[in-house]
Amino acid sequence: MRGIEEDEDLPHLWQKPAYSVILEALEKLRVEPPVWGAKVSRSEIIKQQAAVQTAHERKEAISFLSSIIKSGLSWLGDDDEREVIWEEASKRMSERCGRTAMGEIIRSWPFENPDYGSFSLTIREPPLTGDSLGLKTWGSSYALAQRLHEFASGPLAHLVRSSQKTEEVLELGSGTGLLGLAAASIWRKTVYLTDLPEIMSNLEHNASLNRALVEERGGRVEAAPLTWGGSEEEVDPRFRSGKRFELIIVADPLYDDDHPALLASAIDEQLALNPDARVLVMVPQRDEITKGLCRTLRAELGRHTNPLICHHENIVDGEDDWGDGNNDDSQQVGFWWGILGRSS
């Protein structure tokens, strides 16, 4: 975290400091979230963030920010400069008002295996406000990502490692992007990270944050909006042709009763008709509701003109999602994974 040192004075507005002087002071007051490990719960991160802020913040900083927000800054004489100062002061104030306003959590997710070496992905999770399911990293994404090398040498070898291997992978419901970024890094493929338009800003940020690492490892990522069941106008041009991808991945995609049908349609629209094409899905078995949604998804996938059947499946144990922001105690659940393809 950055901050103003105890012996460093903040500028006084009555002295009408220049734009650059105020902006520099605001920059020094920025609270940068540290990078946390994957296994630290969200609630613990929030507690530690609050403790760090309490230890380092001074009343003068809050007073300074409040005075800027209330001030007309008339001496600056430039509307654009005033807007920048007000916006930056508001951000600095928000960073000091708890988890929801402050923001983000940044985590490092480690991967280590003799087959592909060691690397870590850095993932940002923005504030959890409103409908924010796509703004947090779910446990199933990490659980599935850690097994990608097993699928590459097993039931997906014909798509990942053979001479006829596919070069492009589609991820549906990418959320923060952890699974797709791991797939690009481990499988050395071009992976399209997709989600709802309102999720894209953070998804694109995480893609940019990890792009150099992914490309160094021989992969590539692109982020694009893709709404399940959206109109033709809502569909990105890259996905309008349909039935293009021979490999689709998706983790923890089911939360409402309409999700199984919407996801099944999205998969059917994008999965190639090639009988070797596959979908890799993981769904946590949290309770009877999620188990029922998983059964419904499988039934929906079998109802299309070119139905999908399950070729491989299993349930593995893992830690579920690290909470909802209020109760972050992780719990052990079974993660069902299935590999499905077109019936011949």
Tens of pLDDT, residue by residue over 58-87, are 577 888 898 999 899 999 988 999 999 999
pTM of the shown model:
0.76
Amino acid at the residue 319: E
| Alpha carbons within 13 A on the beta-carbon side of 95 | 26
Domain at 109-342, CATH from 3.50.50.60, 3.40.50.150, 3.40.50.10070, 3.30.750.24: 3.40.50.150
Name, in order, each residue with C-beta under 8 angstroms of 203's C-beta and a sequence gap of 6 or more.
134, 174, 175, 176, 177, 193, 195, 223
Q: In this predicted model, what pLDDT tens digit does every residue of 260-293 receive, in sequence order?
A: 999 999 999 999 999 999 999 999 998 899 899 9
pLDDT tens, N- to C-terminus, the chain (344 residues): 444 443 357 899 999 999 999 999 998 887 666 677 777 766 677 666 666 555 445 577 888 898 999 899 999 988 999 999 999 998 787 666 644 444 578 889 999 888 788 999 999 888 655 456 667 888 889 999 999 999 999 999 999 987 767 899 999 999 999 999 999 999 999 999 999 998 999 999 999 999 999 999 999 999 999 998 877 777 788 888 889 999 999 999 998 899 999 999 999 999 999 999 999 999 999 889 989 999 999 999 998 889 999 999 999 988 775 444 444 456 788 999 999 999 86
Alpha helices in 114-255 (DSSP H): 139-145, 148-153, 157-160, 178-187, 200-216
Name, in order, each residue with C-beta under 8 angstroms of 280's C-beta and a sequence gap of 6 or more: 144, 151, 156, 247, 248, 249, 250, 337, 338, 339
> Per the structure block, which two tokens stand in for 159?
């798509």
* Closest among 251, 250, 271, 114 to 186, alpha carbons compared: 114
What ranges do the domains of the chain cover? Answer: 13-102, 109-342
User: What would the two tokens of residue 228 be?
Assistant: 């399940």
Amino acid at 119: F
Distance between alpha carbon 296 and the CA centroid of its chain, in Å? Answer: 26
Residue type, 287: D
Is there a contact between 93 and 65 (Cβ–Cβ < 8 Å)?
yes
Secondary structure class of 20 (helix, strand, coil):
helix
